[in-house]
Structure formats: C-alpha cells, structure tokens
Amino acid sequence: MKKLLVALAGLLLCGASASAQKKPAPKAKAAAPAAALIAQGKTVYTETCLSCHQADGGGVDGLNPPLIKTSYVLGDKTRIVKVVLNGLQGVDIDGEEYNNAMPSYDFLTDQQIAAVLTYVRNSFGNKATSISAAEVKAIRAANKK
C-alpha cells in the first residue's frame, strides 16, 4: 500500500512539473487590415485627398500637412475621424503650422471614412490599427451632439 501511495505521489509530481513547464500560448498579433479595405481606401484617397496631401502623402509645406508618421495620423482614432468629419484649419501638427483649410468630408459614408483612414494609417511608411465603419458611426453620432 505504501509503495502504491509513493508511486501515485510520484506520478502527480511528474504531472505537475510537466504542466508547470508548458509555455503559455502566444498572444495573437493584431490582425493586419484587410486588403479589400486598403484597396477601397486607396480609391477614396485618390479621389478625395490626393490633390492636397499628394500621391506620396507628403503634403505641401505650410499649406497641407503630411500624412507620414504624424501624431494626427498614428494617434487617437477619434481625432482623425473628427478631422475628416469637421475639416481643419490653421493648426500646428507636430510643431509645424499649416494654413490651408481642409473642408469637411462628412458626406463620405462611414465605410469610406474607415477605409481611407485605414489606408492612410497603413501607407506612406505608417503602421497603425484599422478604423472600422462602426467606430466612425459612433464618432459621427457623438460629434452631432
């Protein structure tokens, strides 16, 4: 009986040490934006944004800000969505002043805004999370109040 208890205790200890040595499952990486969303965003960008922000996202000094690695593009999603919805004028972006008025593009659908901002946040050397149509819809609704 004593041998049986010792054997059981040994099995339990081996099982415990084996399970303690298991590595935790790796955390899932943030999913890359879907290619279709990026393609739709590129179309909206070409039709709506390119003339001011340029094909390379570099903007125009003193007039239209660049979209390359700026706090406005890579930062808070709500702020960048509100820029598209409300427009922007006479603002300092990362220490540089830009004086051209950006009109409101609130006529774009939530899906178009999500697509173009996801495209911009993942083009021109930028890497940031996607913006969904649902996020744009919620920001648009809160923006009307």
pTM: 0.77
Q: Could you tell me if residue 17 is inside a domain? A: no
Q: Could you tell me if residue 74 is inside a domain? A: yes
Residue ranges making up the domain that contains 61: 31-143
Q: Could you tell me if residue 72 is inside a domain? A: yes
**Nearest CA-CA partner of 111 in 37, 30, 42, 53:** 37
What is the rounded distance in angstroms from the CA atom of residue 139 to the CA atom of residue 86?
11
pLDDT at position 145 is 66
5 has a pLDDT exceeding 50: no
The number of domains in the chain is: 1
DSSP state at residue 56? T
What is the rounded distance in angstroms from the CA atom of residue 117 to the CA atom of residue 123?
10
pLDDT at position 27 is 54
Per-residue CA distances from 109 to 4, 47, 62, 84, 129 (Å): 72, 14, 29, 11, 20
Q: What is the CATH number for 69?
A: 1.10.760.10
Compute the average pLDDT of residues 109-122. Answer: 98
Indicate the SS3 state at residue 24.
coil
What is the rounded distance in angstroms from the CA atom of residue 37 to the CA atom of residue 48?
16
